[in-house]
Amino acid sequence: MEASTPKTLNENLKASFLRQLQALVRESVDCHAICEHSVKGIVQLLDICGCQLRMFNSEATLTTALYEYVCDRDEIGSFLVHHTSFPDTDAPNINPIVEATLTHDHPETPVFTFRYPLISQMEVLGELMVHREARENFDADVLDLLDQVGTYCAIGLRQMRFLRVSQTQSVELKRLNQLQDTFLNTVSYELRIPLSNIKMSIQMLSLALSRSDECDTLADAEAPFILEALAYSKVSRYLEVLQKECDRETKLIQDLLDLQQLDNDTMSLLISSIDLPQWLTYVLNPFQKHFQEYNFNYNIDIEPGLPALMCDQISLSRIMVELLNNAYRYTPSGENIRVHAFQQKGTRSSSPPQLHLQVINSGVEIPLEERSKVFGRFYRIPRLDIRKLGGTGLGLALVKKLTLRLGGEVKLESVGGATTFTVILPFQSVRS
């Protein structure tokens, strides 16, 4: 084999080779194509006898792949790819080095091997080895070219590792989500039965209790439980607490089941025509007592002439109840709670008009860093819970999921000492 000592590189070929390599790194995650293009291009551009590229595992104790291109001037060049798995005999280099060896066939002409480590983020990912049989060492232009190729290859290897890690994490996350779904479904269904029994037992105890001073008839005297007035008051209070906590746990389980159905897109909708003023009055009625208790300035503002809304009434009522519960929990005494319903044109001329349902409460402002998190599951802002009512942090997650299920969107605005949740729904074509 003749000694080759090229003094200069063809700048056009070099620029084209680097441009293609850069495009592969930027647009592709196929590390095989990057490595193949690199070793083949180096051999052809430098007119040298061979080039190798090794890929290491994360501990650099194993060569996971070897890419080699050997070009013999007397024979047809061949490109060999060996996907291997064997221990490395030498520790990876962290600095480029040049080695010179003599062969039996050409003892007068040394073979120079340039070993360039592929390093990214202080980790040796692989090694580029270029073999040149020549009387002179690698010149500055060649070393600069190999440095650029090594940098691109290191980026490509790092991208491949990131992709593999992300794919592994994605599979694992999917598996964990499936386990979570199975767990939540199992636990939720299993807890509903004992909670129903507890609730029924509480109701039966409440019916069976009688006060001794109220037992005027024989039937009263034969009641299962006859208590003194003081004892009756205490037991009634305890049963009330039990009933409240039982309802709270039942709601938690129902929320979890509803979220699972929404995630799996298995929640059915019963679409019907809703008279908005009448429906809003019905939904807001139970809250008036709580609002008066804390001296809220409470008002309903419904735009006159709103058309009927084709929607699932149960889901829409659930959305409004969760938003009102949220306002009740976080609004200071004496502040304002306002419900505003109005119609607005769609963003496009061809879009149907939209219903805007707003729940606005003053005296509280959600910090900017918290606003992107409030619709997450189990997320609460404890320092804003002035009544210490607690909660599971599932209410607003349900609001968002249900709104999307109805083909709408929910927006949050919190400025000027007030917080506004806006549910936007189309007046027609609700997704079934």
Angle of the 395-405 helix axis to the 313-330 helix axis, nearest 10 = 150
| CATH number (domain holding residue 160) | 3.30.450.40
Residue 299: inside a domain:
yes
Among 235, 263, 291, where does a domain finish? 263
Provide CB contacts within 8 A for 175, sequence distance 6+: none
Q: According to the model, what pLDDT value does residue 317 have?
A: 93
Q: According to the model, what pLDDT value does residue 432 have?
A: 38
Among 171, 200, 225, where does a domain finish? 171
Q: According to the model, what pLDDT value does residue 3 have?
A: 42
Say whether both 179 and 279 belong to one domain.
no
Task: Express each pLDDT in 235-257 by its tens digit.
Answer: 888 888 888 888 888 888 888 88
Q: According to the model, what pLDDT value does residue 222 have?
A: 52
Residue 4: inside a domain:
no
Residue 1: inside a domain:
no
Say whether both 65 and 91 belong to one domain.
yes
Helix H or strand E encompassing 247: helix 229-263
pTM assigned to the model: 0.54
Say whether both 201 and 323 belong to one domain.
no
Say whether both 212 and 165 belong to one domain.
no
Say whether both 52 and 156 belong to one domain.
yes
Say whether both 161 and 202 belong to one domain.
no
Say whether both 120 and 233 belong to one domain.
no
Say whether both 189 and 145 belong to one domain.
no
Question: Are 270 and 312 in contact, with CB atoms under 8 Å apart?
Answer: yes
The amino acid sitting at 371 is: R
Rounded to an integer, what distance in angstroms lies between the CA atom of residue 385 and that of residue 388?
5
Around Cβ 4, how many Cβ atoms within 10 Å?
A: 16
Say whether both 337 and 362 belong to one domain.
yes
Among 141, 171, 201, where does a domain finish? 171
How many domains are there within the chain?
3
Residue 52: inside a domain:
yes
Provide CB contacts within 8 A for 150, sequence distance 6+: 96, 116, 117, 118, 128
| CATH number (domain holding residue 313) | 3.30.565.10
Per the structure, the complete domain to which residue 66 belongs is given by: 11-171
Which parts of the chain have pLDDT scores under 70?
A: 1-9, 71-92, 102-109, 134-137, 210-227, 347-350, 382-391, 428-432
Task: Express each pLDDT in 288-342 by its tens digit.
Answer: 888 888 888 888 899 998 888 999 999 999 999 999 988 888 888 888 889 999 9
Say whether both 254 and 351 belong to one domain.
no
DSSP 92-115: PPSS-EEEEE--SS-TTSPEEEEE
Say whether both 16 and 159 belong to one domain.
yes
Burial 85-110 (b: 16+ CB within 10 A, else e): eeeeeeebeeebeeeeeeeeeeeebb
Residue 431: inside a domain:
no
Say whether both 183 and 151 belong to one domain.
no
